C-alpha cells in the first residue's frame, strides 16, 4: 500500500546583540523533501560514553540520503554527566549538554554511518526524531 | 561574554495519525567567539574535500552552523575519519544544519577529525559559522 507523502517544516533562528559589532539575526527555513515516515520519541540512553558500544537510534540502510535527524537533550544536569553524545560512523561527533539540540540532514545509506547514542550517565533521557523516506 | 539565542521549530502535519507534530526548543548560549561567513566551495571529490573547521582549533561543544546557499548544487560534509570515503551530512540547496560539535582533537593530528566539505559542482556557495 502506498503511503501518502507529507512534509517537515523546520526553522533555525540564531540571534545575538552583543557578540559582534553588528547584531546577528538569522532565520533559516529548511526545505525538506516529501517524507513518508518519521516522528519523535523520548527514551533513556543506557550506554555510558567511552565505555563500550553505543546504542543505535538510526540504521543507515533504512533511510534514503537526506533524512532529517533531530536530537534534543532535555536534561538539567549541566556537568559532563548530563551529556548525550551522538556517534556517527563509529566516532563521537556531537556532544549535547543539557538543553542542547542538533538538527541535520543525514547522508544515510552508507556502510558504517549508523547514528548511535551514549550518555554521560546511564539513564540520561534524550529525545530524537528521524524524518525521511525508506531506502 | 555574549549571548547567542537559538531557536529550533520543527513541525509536520499527518506524519503520524495521532496529532500534528510541532516542537519548539529555545536555548540561550553563552559565547565569546563566533560569527557567520560565506565562501565558495570548488572541491568536487570526496578525496579532495576542504577543511572548514579544524578539530584542534575548537573546544568541545562548539556550535556549528552550516547552510547551502546554492540554488542547484549539493554540499556534502565529512565529520568522521573512520570511514575515509564516507560523508555524514548532505545539504541540498537551501538546507541547513546546527549542532554542538565534539571537536575531538587526536594526539597525532593530521586533520582526520576536521569538518570537511565538497560539492556536486564548483563555485557552490556555503554559509557557515562556529560559536563557542
- ipTM of the prediction: 0.93
Q: B106 pLDDT band (50/70/90 cuts)?
A: confident
Q: A50 pLDDT band (50/70/90 cuts)?
A: confident
Q: Which domain holds residue A77?
A: 36-131
CA-based nearest residue in chain B for residue A129: B10
**A41 pLDDT more than 80:** yes
* B125 is a domain residue: yes
pLDDT digits (tens, 9 = 90+) for A7-17: 888 999 999 99
* B41 is a domain residue: yes
Q: B94 pLDDT band (50/70/90 cuts)?
A: very high
What percent of chain A is modeled with pLDDT above 70? 94
* A109 is a domain residue: yes
CA nearest to B126, candidates B77, B80, B87: B77
Q: Phi, psi at residue A9, to the nearest 5°?
A: -110, 125
- What pLDDT does residue B12 have? 83
- What pLDDT does residue B31 have? 96
Q: Which domain holds residue B126?
A: 33-131
Cα–Cα distance between A104 and A28 in angstroms, integer? 13
Q: A18 pLDDT band (50/70/90 cuts)?
A: very high
Give how many domains chain A has, as a whole number.
1
Written as nine digits, the cell of B96 is: 541547513
* A4 is a domain residue: no
**B78 pLDDT more than 60:** yes
Mean pLDDT, residues B36-58: 94
B25 contact partners, CB below 8 Å, separation of at least 6 = A72, A101, B7, B8
Written as nine digits, the cell of A41 is: 520519541
* B21 is a domain residue: no
Give B 15-54 residues with CB within 8 A of chain A: 15-16, 21, 23, 25, 27, 31, 34-36
CB contact under 8 A, B61 and A39: no
Mean pLDDT, residues B22-49: 94
* A30 is a domain residue: no
CB contact under 8 A, B21 and A40: yes
Cα–Cα distance between B91 and B78 in angstroms, integer? 12
CB contact under 8 A, A97 and B90: no
Sign of the dihedral through C-alpha A45, A13, B58, A99: negative
- What pLDDT does residue B83 have? 61
B91 contact partners, CB below 8 Å, separation of at least 6 = A105, B66, B67, B68, B74, B75, B76, B77, B97
* B14 is a domain residue: no
The 3 state secondary structure assigned to chain B is CEEEEEEEEEEECCCCCCCCEEEEEEEEEEECCEEEEEEEECCCCHHHCEEEECHHHCCCCEEEEEEECCCCCCEEEECCCCCCCCCCEEECCCCEEEEEECCCCCCCCCCCCCEEEEECCCCEEEEEEEEC
Cα–Cα distance between A99 and B48 in angstroms, integer? 36
Q: A34 pLDDT band (50/70/90 cuts)?
A: confident
Instruction: State the CATH number of the domain containing residue A77.
Output: 2.60.120.10
Instruction: State the CATH number of the domain containing residue B43.
Output: 2.60.120.10
Q: Does the predicted model carry a pTM greater than 0.90?
A: yes
* B50 is a domain residue: yes
Residue B113 forms contact with A (CB below 8 Å): yes
Residue A77's SS3 state is coil
CA angle A75, A78, A81 (to 5 degrees): 80
* A17 is a domain residue: no
Give how many domains chain B has, as a whole number.
1
Amino acid at each position: 500500500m502506498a503511503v501518502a507523502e507529507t512534509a517537515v517544516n523546520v526553522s533555525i533562528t540564531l540571534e545575538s546583540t552583543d557578540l559582534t559589532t553588528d547584531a546577528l539575526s538569522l532565520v533559516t527555513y529548511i526545505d525538506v523533501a516529501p517524507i513518508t515516515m518519521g516522528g519523535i520519541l523520548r527514551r533513556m540512553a543506557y550506554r555510558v560514553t567511552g565505555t563500550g558500544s553505543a546504542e543505535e537510534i538510526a540504521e543507515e540502510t533504512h533511510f534514503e540520503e537526506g533524512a532529517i535527524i533531530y536530537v534534543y537533550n532535555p536534561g538539567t544536569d549541566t556537568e559532563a554527566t548530563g551529556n548525550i553524545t551522538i556517534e556517527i560512523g563509529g566516532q563521537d561527533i556531537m556532544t549535547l549538554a543539557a538543553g542542547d539540540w542538533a538538527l541535520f540532514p543525514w547522508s544515510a545509506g552508507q556502510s558504517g554511518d549508523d547514528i548511535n547514542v551514549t550518555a554521560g550517565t546511564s539513564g540520561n533521557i534524550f529525545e530524537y526524531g528521524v524524518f525521511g523516506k525508506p531506502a | 561574554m555574549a549571548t547567542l539565542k537559538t531557536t529550533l521549530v520543527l513541525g509536520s502535519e499527518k506524519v503520524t495519525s495521532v496529532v500534528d507534530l510541532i516542537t519548539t526548543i529555545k536555548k540561550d548560549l553563552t559565547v565569546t567567539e563566533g560569527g557567520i561567513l560565506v565562501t565558495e566551495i570548488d572541491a568536487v571529490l570526496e578525496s579532495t574535500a576542504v577543511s572548514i573547521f579544524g578539530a584542534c582549533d575548537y573546544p568541545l561543544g562548539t556550535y556549528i552552523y552550516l547552510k547551502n546557499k546554492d540554488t542547484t548544487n549539493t554540499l556534502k560534509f565529512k565529520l568522521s575519519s573512520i570511514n575515509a570515503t564516507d560523508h555524514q551530512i548532505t545539504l541540498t540547496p537551501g538546507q541547513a544544519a546546527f549542532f554542538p560539535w565534539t571537536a575531538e582533537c587526536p594526539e597525532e593530528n593530521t586533520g582526520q577529525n576536521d569538518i570537511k566539505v565538497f560539492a556536486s559542482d564548483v563555485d557552490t556557495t556555503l554559509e557557515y559559522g562556529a560559536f563557542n
